[in-house]
Structure 1
């Protein structure tokens, strides 16, 4: 399952992202508009055409200016997020940890990395749902339990050495309203989606900081930017994961003096995994999300990823809208969870016993 070429149509078909990418590579690409601008201004034939078609000439100038501004902004994003410092990665020696790597998006991440012979450690309460390639190692871990995280982390270091990349990918959702959610539901959601990020970072970041080399990837969600009914706890936990990423990025530089330790944030929309089966919006394929994460990891540079890419221009900006518009937007999401029947793994640490209290959407995994 090699990484899909960027020149191929997306698995999701022709989308708004496809249109925007096409425009970025043509009309808003300075490599295309600059020659046209130079020809229009510094050749006799070009000057004649501009005199005859003044609107077209002005359009080329505007497109060139916008393209240059976009390129400069992208350059600044990359340089500032990476503290204007480069680093070298030897993927024969790096060790990548993927939480929730037994299935879903995590499974695709693991297999893409394994195809390149990269050593991968999977932390998951489920057994692998696929045959592990030679470079993949599984460690049983209940991510809702700090003692289990500590035990699995110790076993991992003993077997493989200190990890250099941590991908916090595991997640869970219960799909209940605020009044229907039990204490166990809330603790499970926040333990897996938020607190596990802290506990795993505390285990693996010190060695990365000491070497001034490493990466931590936070797989959050667009739900961290916008809250919908019947998933308030999930949205809140993902908002906390986004804040974790943002705070970690600046602490690495200002507190730990480790400017080469990279941070990557992925905020993806609804993805076609068992966790969100039946969710009522347009969807992404898990392979699409996994490929973007793996490409960012292999670049070895900090990044902020969003899928669909065009959602970046809308969803995170909602909080800057007038309050009435925000409220109307959230009310418009009232039906997205109506047909949801997603499944999740219930961690043994939740003490649910023999399927007691587990709805049909849950999967009990015994230790």
Structure 2
């Protein structure tokens, strides 16, 4: 059973660059610790005498204080603007959370963590759950590759469970093919599961959230939203579409629907150790490293429980990659060229969709679908 751990717990991935950043955040860049020392250096006799003998230490202390204050103010503004300067209260005994792709991988971890808090959860997936369903968790078979199936399943959920107040668009799909090898059906399914179904699920569940001005839509995108790699072009494009959906939804909720308390969360994670991306290049192990499914699930669930809009990057040390479109062209192209080995050993598991067989009237075979 996946559990939510304390922020002070040792990272599941071991000692990484994120560990260093976390230590600095809670020590050198914590104004609650550094500001009193800085004020003592300025306004007490002993402090003035000590730092007069160590001027470089005073310089570094000043940088730490103002650096910490900068990040605190930035976080305050990020949270305020993203949440429209409005607070909202969630009663987790009454909320209903829908998790797509919740039968396995990251989604399963999310379901288990939410269930550990006694929250009512609905799993939408084409696969049967690979774990014993906890109390207050219900599974509905749903082919997210089929718009008709989504509408029918959504109607069943509303009738049998109630109107969901949190929608977590977690399901993912990847073929791992080059542009020339990608079939029309590959392309359709990749975009349908990774992006288009976000629209269709929102159309089913969002109206009630808007009506009550209460709820949350969580988009599990990817760092692939920002950087394109060979043999992942369709996946990266679909994840970019998911990120754009999140950004557009947040804007429409505020400007068009006046639902300023409906929250939007976007999670952009790097490579995670799931069956979907088995064999994917694991990075350098320090700055860019393989994430545990529990880590991504935990960050997502903590954001949900906080009841606030947020934009999450994992690993945190990869945040700079989100600015890549502003880099000089030579740097952007060099980064993309350097990703050539990411998919060389990829053997990710794929689940055949009923809609795939039904709509594969293009004279192609489905034999390339890898079984678990």
What's the counterpart of residue 18 of structure 2?
17
Q: Is the 8 A contact 2:351 2:369 kept in 1?
A: no
Aligned-pair Cα RMSD in Å: 1.2
What's the counterpart of residue 361 of structure 1?
370
Alignment of 1:55-134 (within 5 A): 55-134=56-135
Alignment of 1:199-278 (within 5 A): 199-278=200-279
Q: Cα offset for 1:358?
A: 2.5
Whether 1:342 and 2:343 are equivalent positions in the alignment is: no
SS of 1:139's equivalent in the other structure is strand
Whether 1:140 and 2:141 are equivalent positions in the alignment is: yes
What's the counterpart of residue 8 of structure 1?
9
Deviations 1:105-153 (A, max 9, x none): 0000000001111000000011111111121001110001000000000
The farther-off stretch of 219-228 and 41-50 is 41-50
SS of 1:345's equivalent in the other structure is coil
Q: Cα offset for 1:360?
A: 5.3
Q: Which runs of 5+ in 1 are unaligned?
A: none
Query: Structure 1 stretches (4+) deviating beyond 4 angstroms?
Result: none
Instruction: Tell me the number of residue pairs that the alignment of Structure 1 and Structure 2 aligns.
Output: 361
Deviations 1:36-81 (A, max 9, x none): 1111111111010111111111221121111111100001111110
Q: Cα offset for 1:356?
A: 4.3
SS of 2:351's equivalent in the other structure is strand
Q: Which runs of 5+ in 2 are unaligned?
A: 283-288
Distance in 2 of aligned mates of 1:288 and 1:132: 21
**Selected match of 1:309 from 316, 324, 329:** 316
Distance in 1 of aligned mates of 2:29 and 2:142: 47
Using the size of structure 2 for normalisation, the TM-score is 0.95
Distance in 2 of aligned mates of 1:111 and 1:41: 51
SS of 2:121's equivalent in the other structure is strand
SS of 1:351's equivalent in the other structure is helix
What's the counterpart of residue 287 of structure 1?
294
Q: Cα offset for 1:2?
A: 2.3
Q: Is the 8 A contact 2:12 2:295 kept in 1?
A: yes
